[in-house]
Amino acid sequence: ETGVTQSPTHLIKTRGQQVTLRCSSQSGHNTVSWYQQALGQGPQFIFQYYREEENGRGNFPPRFSGLQFPNYSSELNVNALELDDSALYLCASSQPGQGNNEQFFGPGTRLTVL
């Protein structure tokens, strides 16, 4: 069973640029959630995708957008990057309805905005 993978591991961008982060969900999982984790803080929910549809969104502006593909992998896109977007971006996959409902997190992508 392959776990959740994310790419790239690290990324450096400048203010105003756009970035795309990628996530491959764990085998058999149809739900992907994205979180932003600033240094020293807990992860904050960005949004969740279930079967290619957005299934909930946290308090993030529209310049944070996402996609989920038929194979349940997902992308997080951030436009017009700001310095405060510097953070660890975490992807988590799950399969609601089965016996174990936990979310399985990937290692994250460390984004630095200069």
- The residue from 11, 50, 65, 67 that contacts another protein (CB under 8 A) is 50
Is residue 66 a contact point for another protein (CB under 8 A)? Answer: no
> For another protein, which is the closer residue by CB, 18 or 41?
41
* Alpha-carbon span 111 to 30, nearest angstrom: 26
Distance of CA 91 to the CA centre of its chain: 4
- Applying CB under 8 A, the site for another protein has a residue count of 33
CB of 16 to another protein, least distance (A): 27
Is residue 96 a contact point for another protein (CB under 8 A)? Answer: yes
* Alpha-carbon span 101 to 94, nearest angstrom: 7
> For another protein, which is the closer residue by CB, 54 or 82?
54
Cα torsion 60, 78, 87, 45: sign: positive
